Amino acid sequence: MCVFFICFVGYAIGAIKVKGVSLGTAGVFLFALLFGYLCTLPGLENIPVLGKFFLGNSANEKTATEIASKISNFKFISNIGLVLFVTAVGSIAGPKFFRDLKKNAKTYVPMGAIIIIAGALVTVLFALIPGIGSAYASGILSGALTSTPAFSAAKETVKELAADQEALVVLGQAVAYPFGVIGVVLFVQIMPKIVRADMETERLLISNDTEEKTENVKKEKKLLELDNFGFAAFGLALVLGVLLGAIKIPLSGKGFDGPCFSLGMTGGPLIVSLIIAHFGRIGKISMKININALKNFREFGLMLFLCGAGLEGGVVLVDQVSKSTLGPMLVVYGFIAGAVITMIPMVIGYFFGRKICKLPLLSSLGSITGGMTSTPALGTLISVAGTDDVAGAYASTYPIALVLVVLASQLINSLMLG
Helix (H, G, I), strand (E, B) or coil at 227: coil
Tell whether 220 is covered by a domain: no
**pLDDT value of residue 249:** 83
Tell whether 212 is covered by a domain: no
**pLDDT value of residue 327:** 65
**pLDDT value of residue 221:** 66
Higher-confidence residue of 87 and 37: namely 87
Helix pair 361-371, 199-206: axis angle to 10 deg = 70
The arithmetic mean of pLDDT across residues 58-81, rounded, is: 69
One-character DSSP codes across 240-253? HHHHHHH--EE-ST
Question: Residue 60: is its pLDDT beyond 70?
Answer: no
The arithmetic mean of pLDDT across residues 330-354, rounded, is: 91
Residue positions counted in the chain: 418
Tell whether 248 is covered by a domain: yes
pLDDT per residue as tens digits for the range 182-235: 899 899 989 998 989 888 888 888 875 333 446 444 445 677 888 888 899 999
Neighbours of 52 (CB within 10 A): 12
**pLDDT value of residue 209:** 39
Report the alpha-carbon distance of residue 186 to residue 168 in Å, rounded: 28
Higher-confidence residue of 216 and 69: namely 69
Report the alpha-carbon distance of residue 408 to residue 368 in Å, rounded: 18
Higher-confidence residue of 329 and 211: namely 329
Helix pair 328-351, 133-144: axis angle to 10 deg = 50
Question: Residue 277: is its pLDDT beyond 50?
Answer: yes
Report the alpha-carbon distance of residue 90 to residue 359 in Å, rounded: 21
**Do residues 409 and 138 lie in contact, with contact meaning Cβ atoms separated by under 8 Å?**
yes
Q: Which residues contact 92 (CB under 8 A, 6 or more apart)?
A: 277, 291, 294, 295, 298, 388, 391
**Nearest-5° angle of CA 271, CA 382, CA 232?**
45
Question: Residue 67: is its pLDDT beyond 90?
Answer: no
**pLDDT value of residue 20:** 74
The arithmetic mean of pLDDT across residues 250-273, rounded, is: 77
Report the alpha-carbon distance of residue 399 to residue 108 in Å, rounded: 10
Question: Residue 90: is its pLDDT beyond 70?
Answer: yes
Tell whether 58 is covered by a domain: no
Best CA proximity match to 169, nearest among 136, 126, 145: 136
**pLDDT value of residue 325:** 64
> 253-260 long-range CB contacts below 8 Å, 24 or more apart?
254/160, 258/156, 258/160, 259/153, 259/156, 259/157, 259/160, 259/410, 260/156
pLDDT per residue as tens digits for the range 356-401: 988 889 999 999 998 998 878 888 888 888 888 888 888 888 888 8
- Provide the β-strand partners of residue 261: 249
**How many structural domains are present in the chain?**
1
What mean pLDDT, rounded, does the chain reach?
A: 81
Best CA proximity match to 83, nearest among 301, 233, 278, 259: 301
The residue type found at 162 is A
Rounded to the nearest 5°, which phi and psi values hold at 115?
Answer: -60, -45
Question: Residue 115: is its pLDDT beyond 80?
Answer: yes
**Do residues 195 and 159 lie in contact, with contact meaning Cβ atoms separated by under 8 Å?**
no
What global pTM score does this model have?
0.73
Best CA proximity match to 25, nearest among 342, 374, 290: 374
pLDDT per residue as tens digits for the range 12-36: 988 888 877 777 777 888 888 888 8
Question: Residue 6: is its pLDDT beyond 80?
Answer: yes
Helix (H, G, I), strand (E, B) or coil at 222: coil
**pLDDT value of residue 326:** 62
Tell whether 256 is covered by a domain: yes
Tell whether 125 is covered by a domain: yes
Helix (H, G, I), strand (E, B) or coil at 21: strand
**pLDDT value of residue 85:** 84
Best CA proximity match to 154, nearest among 415, 412, 366: 412
Tell whether 222 is covered by a domain: no
Which of 234-238, 263-267, 288-292, 406-410 has the highest mean predicted lDDT (pLDDT)?
234-238
**pLDDT value of residue 215:** 40
Q: What DSSP designation does 47 have?
A: S
**pLDDT value of residue 211:** 38
Helix pair 328-351, 361-371: axis angle to 10 deg = 140
Q: Which domain holds residue 354?
A: 2-53+63-206+229-417
The arithmetic mean of pLDDT across residues 247-260, rounded, is: 75
Tell whether 345 is covered by a domain: yes
**pLDDT value of residue 64:** 60
The arithmetic mean of pLDDT across residues 104-124, rounded, is: 89
Best CA proximity match to 337, nearest among 153, 150, 177, 111: 177
The arithmetic mean of pLDDT across residues 113-123, rounded, is: 93
One-character DSSP codes across 278-326? HH-EETTEE----HHHHHHHHHHHHHHHHHHHHHHHHHHHHHHHHH-SS
Q: What percent of the chain has pLDDT over 70?
A: 88
Number of H helices, E strands in the chain: 15, 4
